[in-house]
Amino acid sequence: MAQLEQSATSGSEWWRSAVIYQIYPRSFADASGDGIGDLPGITSRLDDLKSLGIDAIWLSPFMTSPQKDAGYDVADYRDVDPLFGTLADFDAMLQAAHARGIRVIVDLVPNHSSDQHVWFQQALKAAPGSPERARYIFRDGRGENGELPPNNWESVFGGSMWERVTEADGTPGQWYLHIFDVSQPDFDWTNEEVREEFRSILRFWLDRGVDGFRVDVAHGLIKAEGLPDYTPDASADSMGGGEEDVPYWGQDGVHDIYRDWHRVLAEYDGDRALCGEAWLPTLQRTALWVRPDEMHQTFNFPYMMTAWDADALRDVIRESLDEFGRVGAPSTWVLSNHDVIRHASRLALTADSPQGDGIGPRSAGKPDPVIGLSRGRAATTLMLALPGSAYLYQGEELGLPEAMEIPDEFRQDPTWFRSNGERYGRDGCRVPLPWTASGTAFGFNDTGASWLPQPAEWARFARDAEETQPDSTLNLYRALLTERRARKLGTGTLVWEDTDASAVAFRRGDLHVIANLSDAPIELGEDVTFVIRSEPFTGTALPANTAAWFTRA
Ligand code: GLC
Given a contact cutoff of 8 angstroms between Cβ atoms, the answer to whether 97 and 87 are in contact is no
pTM: 0.97
d(CA 503, CA 412): 39
CB neighbours of 35 closer than 8 A, spacing ≥ 6?
441, 445, 447, 449, 450, 451
Distance 451 CA to ligand 1 centre (A): 19
Name the region of 170 (left: φ>0; alpha: ψ -120 to 50; beta: rest): left
Question: What tens digit of pLDDT does each residue of 65-110 get?
Answer: 999 999 999 999 999 999 999 999 999 999 999 999 999 999 999 9
Q: Which of 38, 163, 277, 402 is catalytic?
A: 277
Residue 538, SS3 per DSSP: coil
- The domains of the chain are located at 17-111+192-473, 118-177, 497-552
State the average pLDDT for the chain: 96
Going by their DSSP bridges, the two strands 541-542 and 522-523 should be labelled as antiparallel
Spell out the alpha helix ranges (H) of 34-127: 39-44, 46-52, 87-99, 118-125
What is residue 2's predicted lDDT score, i.e. its pLDDT? 55
Question: What tens digit of pLDDT does each residue of 152-193 get?
Answer: 999 999 899 999 999 989 999 999 999 999 999 999 999 999
Q: What is the CATH number of domain 118-177?
A: 3.90.400.10
Write out the DSSP string of 415-475. Answer: HHHHTTTSS--SGGG-PPPP--SSSGGGGT-SS---SSPPPGGGGGG-HHHHHT-TTSHHH
d(CA 400, CA 166): 46
Tell me whether residue 523 is one of the annotated catalytic residues: no
The answer regarding whether domain 497-552 maps to CATH 1.10.287 reads: no
In terms of CATH, what superfamily is 17-111+192-473?
Answer: Glycosidases (3.20.20.80)
Q: Which residues line ligand 1 (CB under 6 A)?
A: 69, 72, 109, 180, 216-217, 277, 338-339
Which of 483, 380, 494, 509 lies closest to 8 in space, CA to CA? 494
Given a contact cutoff of 8 angstroms between Cβ atoms, the answer to whether 398 and 27 are in contact is no
Nearest C-alpha to atom 9 of ligand 1 is from which residue? 339
Given a contact cutoff of 8 angstroms between Cβ atoms, the answer to whether 434 and 398 are in contact is yes
What is residue 384's predicted lDDT score, i.e. its pLDDT? 98
Distance 356 CA to ligand 1 centre (A): 10
Given a contact cutoff of 8 angstroms between Cβ atoms, the answer to whether 530 and 542 are in contact is no
Residue 1: pLDDT band (50, 70, 90) is very low
Given a contact cutoff of 8 angstroms between Cβ atoms, the answer to whether 111 and 74 are in contact is no
Question: What tens digit of pLDDT does each residue of 407-459 get?
Answer: 999 999 999 999 999 999 999 999 999 999 999 999 999 999 999 999 999 99
Using alpha carbons only, how large is the chain's radius of gyration in Å?
23
Question: What tens digit of pLDDT does each residue of 33-46 get?
Answer: 999 999 999 999 99
Distance 277 CA to ligand 1 centre (A): 9
Strands (E) in 113-200, as ranges, are 138-139, 162-166, 172-177
